[in-house]
Chains A and B, each alone.
Chain A
């Protein structure tokens, strides 16, 4: 089981690396923010798997804080940093 947890954590990290491409590519600010959102969820999943391998329940608290704060950055983006005019080249 340990191997599976680690393998899945590694798989999710690679996944996350692939998702990075969207941060660079954009094209809209919202797209970049979406990949940050996916980063957050994936990090929670990786943390849960690592917590299982290390059998350390304190890591569940780290995941809990992650999950709790997941919304804050995205809400700050929508409410503050998103400019009103978004250049519309959002189609490939």
Chain B
């Protein structure tokens, strides 16, 4: 009964929060509602016995996206500083040209497709979990989620890393941003960033290590590392200009790069893309996850910075 009430409250709360976040004309309110949605979502994953996803949702959904959206809101206000509000006459005009129901057509198609898929699913799916459990021993790790993400379907993770990198390339192609220090953070924020950064790094390392046999892994560790970068950026810390050129780029591509190299080598040695021999699987996975963690952390922090870092002199 209590369990049921808890789940019902979570489910209804999620739907309601999502609706309110979408319908809010006040963008800051929408962001706060979205952050609250992320928190509830993580709780919902916990109730669904999916601590791996709960961990990722806690780090990305509740932690990083909130900061990213708030920074985006600040930039939006800056961009529209000349006009009174974001919903300016220029935008109203743009709205008139497209009938408002037009976006509903593709949306309905997606809903119909999803509905068809859900209805056509067999009532009791056998799933692949038995196969994963059967082959877990040869995967090099004992956490089934890590085994799937880094071994059985390693190319999924490779492509996810590439997606992150492409997102950053998109942001960087828009504009450069001067590296200059922002307003002084004040003693409290300064101290907070000094205290928390080592803890962030420690927790990221812990999550990376524990991923081999329990919920954790590169994405969770990487987002914790990225959050450390975000906090440091907010507290006014900046790299020297030299470090943001080649060194930063090397860290950004290290994860996908290592993945591609391992993929090529395994293809030459074993004849299959990303098929590790059971003896080497464990060490290879640790190597790939470590490089991926650094890349994900650096990519997320760079995304938060919000532009290609430029020297102050270069930027006029």
Q: Do chains A and B touch in the complex (CB under 8 A)?
A: yes
Q: Which residues on A are within 8 Å of B, measured CB to CB?
A: 3, 6-7, 9-10, 13-14, 17, 20, 23-24, 26, 29, 32-33, 35-36, 39-40, 43, 46-47, 50, 54, 56-59, 61-62, 64-66, 68-69, 71-73, 75-77, 79-81, 83
Complex Cα–Cα for A81 and B36 (A): 17
Considering only CB atoms, which chain A residue lies closest to B193 in the complex? Answer: A75
Contact B55 A62 (CB under 8 A): yes
B117 surroundings in chain A (CB, below 8 A): none
Cross-chain contact B3 with A62 (CB below 8 angstroms)? no
Interface of chain B, helix or strand or loop or mixed?
A: helix
A23-B29, A58-B51 known; A69-B227 Cβ under 8 A: yes
Size class of the B contact interface (CB-based, 8 Å): 35 or more
A-binding segment of B68-76, B125-133, B284-292: B68-76
Residue of A nearest to B36 (CB): A39
Q: Name which residue of chain B comes closest to A34, CB basis.
A: B32
Q: How far is the CA of A4 from the CA of B216 in the complex (A)?
A: 29
Once the chains are docked, how many angstroms separate the CA of A17 from the CA of B43? 14
Show 27 A/B contacts (Cβ-Cβ < 8 Å), sorted by A.
A17-B13, A20-B36, A23-B33, A24-B20, A24-B29, A26-B29, A36-B32, A36-B36, A43-B39, A58-B51, A58-B216, A59-B54, A62-B46, A65-B63, A65-B207, A66-B39, A66-B42, A68-B196, A69-B58, A69-B224, A72-B227, A72-B231, A73-B35, A75-B189, A75-B192, A76-B66, A81-B70
Q: Which residue of A lies closest to B77 (CB)?
A: A83
B3 pairs with A47, CB closer than 8 A: no
Question: Which of A50, A68, A69 is close to B47, meaning CB atoms less than 8 Å apart?
Answer: A50
Judging by beta carbons under 8 Å apart, are B231 and A75 in contact? yes
